A and B are shown apart, each in its own frame.
Chain A
Amino acid sequence: MSLLHLAWCYFRSRALLAMSALAIALGVAVLFAVLAVVNGFLAQVESTIRDFSGDAVVAAIPERLAPEAELQDYLDALEAVEGLESQQPRLNYYGLIGRRGARAIDDPRTTDLSGLLLVGLDRLPEGMKRLQADPQLEAVAFGPEEVPPGAILVGKVLAAKAGVGVGDSLMVISFKRGSQGYPVPVQTSFRVEAVFTTGRYDHDIDRAIVRREDLALMIGDGLGFNEIGLRGRPGLAPEQLADRAEAALLAAGLKQKGWPMLVSTWRAQGGNFLRAVENQKGILSAVFFCIVLVAAYQLVATLALTVTEKRRDIGVLGALGAAPGRIVTFFVSLGLVIAAVGSALGLLIGTWLTANLEWVQDRIFGERIFNAETYIFDHVPVAVDWSSVLILLGATLGAALVFSFLPAWLAARLNIVDALRR
């Protein structure tokens, strides 16, 4: 029989206290779900950027084509970087495609053109999945394979927009430097080898992968590269990998050779966007924690009412030897019990909510409030960051402690004899 046990007995027998716990539970559940979605969003963004771009990128500045003859020097220098798992040269270039059945792509009157980023690669990157012929089946990861000659792999939204599927031919228009220095349009027909998804709407709508040699041939500058993607071993921070790569290039005298090369991490590349999401996460956390605070604040009223209703019991405890400090401890314990039960219930509701978010959207809103066009992803990503959850729980209990203190102090000030006479 401890004071905490007595507080628990009080809690069990009073519906008002349970309602207080429920208010806290709802606040905690909503904040838990919001944090899980924002964390999931961040994790998904990070994962897709990283999978597609690698941990770090060595890029030519300005975006010029470095000649193939220099590639091996760069690859050799970077090969010595400690912790490097793989590296891949890339050639990025912009192009246009026309919708299937539209007028000829070189017809200046056509309006059915879509811009895209042509990514010239030797091997397929990680993190991409191949859509299956049966749309009901889930996309499967590509194996470690080379990009076939004459082939193009198209993002799923782009493929739908252009109306092409596997096996179709796709005319791509781009520009090469003419003899007078002016850009000259060129067009090349590719065979659609696969339709892929990266899990990110903004990548799936404007990316197509071709063989680096084919792209170099198309733009007529000879084989070359403008990026080298680096992937580090698990556990190696991207910033560390980038620093080591930069040091290796400097040591090999390659950083300023030919075209200046800049080494950056995937995090720096998506820096502004990630910072914006982090800021939104902070703002959302603060706003929703205010809801938890309001829920915890009503403990003042609930406990003050309990003190009034339980004056006689407080008198009895005093008569039996409870010092004022013990009375304070008892009511603060009661506040903590309410907050703890509310938090535990909130975690359960929040966990269920995050696990069934799609179902909840369908049932409550009748439609998906998170759509891919707006939120980049075609599903609601969820990731529970338990350190944030612990902070949330600690802050909730802390707030309950503070808000319980005033009614607890009022209870301790009661005159025992007056309280017993009630």
Chain B
Amino acid sequence: MSDSAAAPAVLQALDLHKTYFMGGAELRVLRGASMELRAGEVAALRGASGSGKSTLLHLLGLLDRLDEGEVAFNGRPTRRLSQSARARLRASTIGFVFQQFQLLPELSALENVLVPRRLACGMSWFRRRGLERANARALLGTVGLSDRLGHRPGQLSGGEQQRVAIARALISRPAALLADEPTGSLDRKAGAEVLELLLELAQENHTAVLLTTHDPEIAARCSRVLHLEEGRVRQE
């Protein structure tokens, strides 16, 4: 805790605004949300359904465009970056874990884990692929799937799929990991195991983690709890 408090901010969100227009109606989801995440810190983001947790996560992950405000990674503002530059930043700096795992069904576990590296490496992939494959194998071994490397998502249980997704999110050693209800689709036991793994690996990699959850037990495991209410972030 004290380590992360002294660490520099990896991710900063300043006065974020996001409004959706649905059937002519204006839906102001974020109204000046601000927050920051430091290296090695694990924060939980709580809020009622429809409060904008996923929207905030998408904006922090550069998946969507802001109406107003700024998101900065390691002090570097991102608002004016091109689509390609944002994609490069996602590949190199941000890891995602989704509630529904979002693995590519045609690829094996090993191949799914390698996708972010393939996207991040560009042409150097062909020089590095042996090393990258070894890293991916090792990471899948760490999440307990060394005997499932060639299995496709459809051949894995929900807990195993989420482990693959965690390995995929961490393969590039991202500065920040954004997890949208990572245990939401799992039973209690599998959820607890996956959360344990996620926190352990994030700590090992000194990765800043922001995860959304409704579960107070999960929130209690995090170093900080943030609440999203009326479009603003409030610290517990």
Contacts and interface: CB of A to CB of B under 8 A. Distances in A.
B84 A320 contact: no
B73 interface: no
A319 B63 contact: yes
B125 A2 contact: yes
Interface in A287-336: 312-313, 315-326
A6 B90 contact: no
A325 B82 CA distance: 12
A406 interface: no
A2 B129 CA distance: 10
B102 A321 contact: no
A317 B106 contact: no
Interface string B32-74: 0000000000000000000000000010010110000000000
B218 to A, nearest CB: 22
B91 interface: yes
Given A323-B84, A416-B64, A417-B63, A317 B107 contact: no
Given A312-B102, A420-B102, A317 B115 contact: yes
Contact of A321 (B90, B103, B125): B90
A5 B88 CA distance: 21
Given A1-B118, A9-B106, A416-B64, A318 B111 contact: no
Nearest to B168: A320
B108 to A, nearest CB: 9
A18 to B, nearest CB: 14
Contacts of A319: 61, 63, 90, 96, 102
A12 interface: yes
Contacts of A2: 118, 125
A255 to B, nearest CB: 66
A320 to B, nearest CB: 5
B213 interface: no
B58 to A, nearest CB: 5
Contacts of B119: 317, 320-322, 326
A175 interface: no
Contacts of A322: 87, 91, 119
B161 interface: no
A13 interface: yes
Contacts of A5: 111
Interface string A1-44: 11101100110110000000000000000000000000000000
Contact of B83 (A3, A9, A312, A323): A323
A316 B102 contact: yes
Contacts of B58: 417
Interface in B74-94: 83-84, 87-88, 90-92
21 contacts: A1-B111, A1-B115, A1-B118, A2-B125, A6-B104, A6-B106, A6-B115, A9-B106, A316-B103, A317-B115, A319-B61, A319-B96, A319-B102, A320-B116, A320-B119, A321-B92, A321-B119, A323-B84, A323-B87, A326-B87, A417-B64
Given A1-B114, A320-B115, 13 more contacts: A1-B107, A1-B129, A2-B118, A6-B107, A318-B63, A318-B87, A320-B96, A321-B120, A323-B83, A323-B84, A324-B83, A420-B98, A420-B102
